[in-house]
Amino acid sequence: MPYDCSFLSDLEVAVSFEEGDLESHAADWGTQETDKKTRPDAVVRPESTDEVSTVLAAADDRGVPVTPYAAGTSLEGNAVPAFAGISMDLMGMNEVVDVRPDDFQIDVQPGVMGTAVDDAVAEYGLFFPPLPSSGNLSTIGGMIANSASGMQTVKYGEVGDWVLELEAVLADGSVVRSGSRAVKTSSGYDLKSLLVGSEGTLAVVTEATLALQGRPEQIRGGRAIFPTLDDAAEAVFDAVRSGVDVAKIELIDGLSATMANDYLGSDLPDAPMTFLEFHANHGVEEEVAFCESVFEEHGVERFEMAEEEEMDELWAARRELAFAARAWDPEQQPLHPGDITVPISEYPGIIRYAKELEEEYGLPVPCFGHAGDGNLHYSVLVPDDPEVREVGEQVYRDIVERAIEVGGTCTGEHGIGMGKREYLLLEHGDASVDAMRRVKRALDPNDTLNPGKMFPETLEGGRVRLDADD
């Protein structure tokens, strides 16, 4: 339903009602052609915390939904309005506010791109380790909202682990600060961590203090090719279990390699392989050798360290896999991308399961991901046929359900958004989801912020407050 957003014209904030703006804010990277899109009624572009606060307070008073938006790289509809209202575009708040190299800290506004953080601190020999693969295209605000992580998470942790302090605006317009510029604190509730991964449903982040790290003196990269996917997955598990100190350990199956070659004109072997990167200040060669010795026990066919240029090619192939899957066969399109994560001991098993389903139903299921974290991205490719599509959806769901069954999560780094709502209950149980709902109602009683996301009852089109029984 449309909301009357004319009040925005009276506020001190840039507002647009233009078709093109409304249309572009109705989709994110996860939106597919078959999806029904909901346009916002207005797009606002605040340039300060005050402006964010003004808009939120006014919208909250009027019962108008506000959905934060930035680069739109989310994959589960996290930043797309479910109920029209206001799309709050934060790309204009893109300043690096302060760099404190002595403290390994940077303060940024939410619209700053991931790689812009690295650019801002490179002169001090520092970097921001947990950047997602899309770091050149996505914003720090979006990463915080979705609890993002990336290829280096196996060594350095998630984006949220590197957030020291947040300034954020609640639905009623009040401005909170949480966390500390001290590297540790036990002072009060950890609202900062509550906001990380809350997908804009609790607050709009307006500034973040991030921790940084000194760049490693030794970096080595390469790839390892295995006879079978199972060998590759078992090798990754064994490397992690053995404590190999690796900064990136990505796995792709033979099908994904084929797709990458088709898409990029590259000449990867059409075989299961892992891409690796090692970071150290001392002894990197020993660590590479340690990894190789573990991989040899799993029949590795080639273990090749590469020059930087070659590595760039490899990583390009890895980064483009999501696009490669879409471009591979016009007759078969991927369902939305899987993002399950399991305890590392379950990683070989969940990949075997995906491949069993691939064979059983005759639908391509390319598998790749941040293997060292136990994170598996997969797609199910289906033709334009509703019945086969339904089978594909079931394959997709079977893999998610298996992941949860073995102690994992339905989403390692993409968030719940609209695409994963059906799994929240299955993963966390009634009491835990109800506790989340109570927190949501406490901080956003009118369900102003990004309604229609995360909670399973919104699958039936409700807003959280409409389902409140108190």
For 117-133, the DSSP string reads HHHHHGGGTEE-TT--T
CB 71, min distance to its own copies, A: 17
The total number of residues shown for the chain amounts to: 470
* DSSP H or E run through 222: strand 218-225
**Nearest residue (CB) to its own copies, 92 versus 157:** 157
**Nearest residue (CB) to its own copies, 214 versus 383:** 214
Which phi-psi region, left, alpha or beta, contains residue 461 (left: φ > 0; alpha: ψ -120 to 50)? Answer: left
What CA–CA distance (Å, rounded) separates 334 from 35? 13
Contact call for residues 53 and 173 (beta carbons, < 8 A): yes
For residue 468, the one-letter residue type is A
CB 465, min distance to its own copies, A: 14
**Nearest residue (CB) to its own copies, 110 versus 369:** 369
**Nearest residue (CB) to its own copies, 237 versus 378:** 237
**Nearest residue (CB) to its own copies, 191 versus 391:** 191
What CA–CA distance (Å, rounded) separates 365 from 334? 9
What CA–CA distance (Å, rounded) separates 138 from 201? 19
CB 223, min distance to its own copies, A: 23
What CA–CA distance (Å, rounded) separates 371 from 61? 46
For residue 135, the one-letter residue type is G
**Nearest residue (CB) to its own copies, 255 versus 291:** 291
**Nearest residue (CB) to its own copies, 53 versus 258:** 53
CB 455, min distance to its own copies, A: 9
What CA–CA distance (Å, rounded) separates 347 from 237? 7
What CA–CA distance (Å, rounded) separates 468 from 166? 29
Q: Which residue has the tokens 């006879």?
A: 227
Q: How many CA atoms lie within 13 A of 78 on its CB side?
A: 27
**Nearest residue (CB) to its own copies, 79 versus 342:** 342
What CA–CA distance (Å, rounded) separates 270 from 51? 52
CB 116, min distance to its own copies, A: 22
For residue 356, the one-letter residue type is E
CB 411, min distance to its own copies, A: 5
Number of H helices, E strands in the chain: 15, 20
CB 289, min distance to its own copies, A: 11
Q: Are strands 86-89 and 66-69 parallel, antiparallel or unpaired?
A: parallel
CB 118, min distance to its own copies, A: 16
